Amino acid sequence: MEQILANGLYLGAQYALIALGLTLIFSLMNVLNFAHGQMYVFGGFVTYTVVAQLGLPFIVGLFASAVVLAVIGALIERFLFRPVIRKSHREESTMLLAAGIAFFLDAVILLIFGEKQRGVPKIMDGVLNWDFRIIMPYDRILIGVLAIGMIIIFILFMQYSKTGRAMRALAQDRVAAQLMGVEVDRYSMIGFALGAMLAGLVGGLLVTITGINLGMGGPTSIKAFLMIMIGGAGVISGAIAGGFILGMMESIGLTLLAAYGGITYLVIFATLMVFLAIRPQGLMGKPWG
């Protein structure tokens, strides 16, 4: 049981961090960013390049992933989403744009980084073995702790910084925030950059554990959508809750349902369908959006 909880917490921390970026972008701009998974993959490849190819320390790779993805996010918002949102009020326009960006990033990743799975050396050796009740490598513990630390920093930033407050105001009521002097364009760009940065950071963190490859983008986006649907789209606390719930469900399912083959995700999807039928806005979302 202890092992199931430990696995669930570790998975939940990384999932929550992935979902945070997606929900932030959705709350600020009402954009479903289908390219979120590709941004995660791009971040992983940047860390890989810096650490494995250039031989620089892991922390430098992580920093590079954050910066590169923040810049990419800002450029995507400024030159792609902003004009489309200005010209079209149809939601499918931004959805199509996001899907297009996902395909584009896939192609760019293939061209720049190739088709192979990549990984960086372990950042910490050794395995914690607590009387065979919890077995967890130290690097996983470190990555889990870092992920939780980043979630806390993000919450504090959104809660207490001027930028964070402005973005929360935008998310709550765009028109009212504008009337109160919040620069919508500026904070939308910062929000998108921050969302992309979070995706890049998780990619950078996980490249030390799971490695990274071209095909991870799409499935990561799907899981991220799953999490924000559980927690409630556009709600920060909902994304965190969704991440931890999905992580825990996976951990429990994979352990208890191992004898029944690949039934874990079937159960998760079926449960989610029933849950959404009862509460379509998710755990913490509002029915009116």
Nearer to another protein, 83 or 219 (CB): 219
To the nearest whole angstrom, how small is the minimum distance from the Cβ of residue 113 to another protein? 11
Q: How many CB atoms lie within 10 A of CB 37?
A: 27
Per residue, the 3-state secondary structure of the chain, as one string, reads CHHHHHHHHHHHHHHHHHHHHHHHHHHHHCCCCCCHHHHHHHHHHHHHHHHHHCCCCHHHHHHHHHHHHHHHHHHHHHHHHHHHHHHCCCHHHHHHHHHHHHHHHHHHHHHHHCCCCECCCCCCCCEEEECCCEEEEHHHHHHHHHHHHHHHHHHHHHHHCHHHHHHHHHHHCHHHHHHCCCCHHHHHHHHHHHHHHHHHHHHHHHCCCCCECHHHHHHHHHHHHHHHHHHCCCCHHHHHHHHHHHHHHHHHHHHHCHHHCCCHHHHHHHHHHHHHHHCCCCCCCCCCC
In the bound state with another protein, the residue whose beta carbon lies nearer, of 122 and 186, is 122
CB of 125 to another protein, least distance (A): 10
Q: How many CB atoms lie within 10 A of CB 133?
A: 10
Rounded least distance, CB 116 to another protein, Å: 6
Closer to another protein by CB, 94 or 140: give it.
Answer: 140
Q: Minimal distance in Å, beta carbon 3 to another protein? A: 7
Select 261 or 289, whichever has its Cβ closest to another protein: 261
CB of 48 to another protein, least distance (A): 8
Q: CA triplet 237, 234, 180: central angle to 5 degrees?
A: 105
Query: Please, are residues 28 and 170 in contact by the beta-carbon 8 Å criterion?
Result: yes
Taking the complex as a whole, the smallest distance from the CB of residue 86 to another protein amounts, in Å, to: 31
Closest approach of another protein to the CB of residue 183, in Å:
37
In terms of CB distance, is 77 or 250 closer to another protein? 250
CB closer to another protein out of 217 and 234:
217
Residue numbers at the binding site for another protein (CB under 8 A):
3-4, 7, 10-11, 14, 52, 106, 110, 114-122, 127, 129, 135-137, 140, 206, 209-211, 213-216, 218-220, 223, 250-251, 254-255, 258-262, 265
Cβ proximity to another protein, 189 vs 239, nearer residue:
239
Dist. CA 253–CA 266, nearest whole Å? 10
Q: Which is nearer to another protein, 79 or 269 (CB)?
A: 269
